[in-house]
Amino acid sequence: MRKKLIGLAASALFVAGCSTTSGTGPDVSRSGFDNAAVVRINPHGNACSGMVCTGLGAHWSATRPNETILVVSIFNSINAITGAKLNIDGEIYDLKIMETFTNFNELGAATKESRKGFLVPTTLVRKITTSQRTWLRVSTTSGYVEDAVIDGQKDSKAFHALKRFLAEVERQS
């Protein structure tokens, strides 16, 4: 009986860990420069099909409420990000590079991340969260990686993270 309970608990934790609605919430702070509300959410993974995976996060300031920095990440790879595109319900958006250099993180031997910010209208983030189909393609110095943010019934942690981000932006506006 005890082994069954342990097995059920382990299964429940595994399923909860795979849930696309889980993830961190947005971080809210105040700018020391102008006291503007600042909302950030760390990149969360898209619906990945392999070890190398794309992700999205975001950064917003009340100083420029109509603009958001969309943080594009590639997990488990160290590559310079040279561009990114979104296909939102069939309409393609070529994202404007905000940062010249790609940031790299090695969070231990097993986890690597490449990340770059892209300036987008806040309305574009809303389009992602209300779309039926959004794919992200990230161009790098060694090719490209693409994953679904949402594709019909297949959604991702990034999709739900952007929803949490926008809800907090609305509260701070």
Query: pLDDT per residue over 41-62, tens digit each?
Result: 999 999 998 899 999 999 999 9
Q: What percent of the chain has pLDDT over 70?
A: 84
Specify the pLDDT at position 14. Answer: 40
Decide if 95 contacts 56 (C-beta within 8 A).
no
Instruction: Flag whether pLDDT at 34 surpasses 90.
Output: yes
pLDDT tens sequence across 94-126: 999 987 777 777 655 567 899 999 999 999 999
Residue 90 vs residues 109, 117, 127, 131, 147: alpha-carbon distances, Å: 38, 23, 12, 10, 15
Instruction: Flag whether pLDDT at 4 surpasses 70.
Output: no
Average pLDDT over residues 76-95: 96
Residue 151's pLDDT band, with cuts at 50, 70 and 90, is very high
pLDDT tens sequence across 62-76: 999 999 999 999 999
Model pTM score = 0.82
Q: Quote the CA–CA distance of 2 and 8 in Å, as a whole number.
A: 10
Average pLDDT over residues 3-23: 47
* Every domain of the chain and the residues it spans: 25-172
Q: Quote the CA–CA distance of 149 and 146 in Å, as a whole number.
A: 10
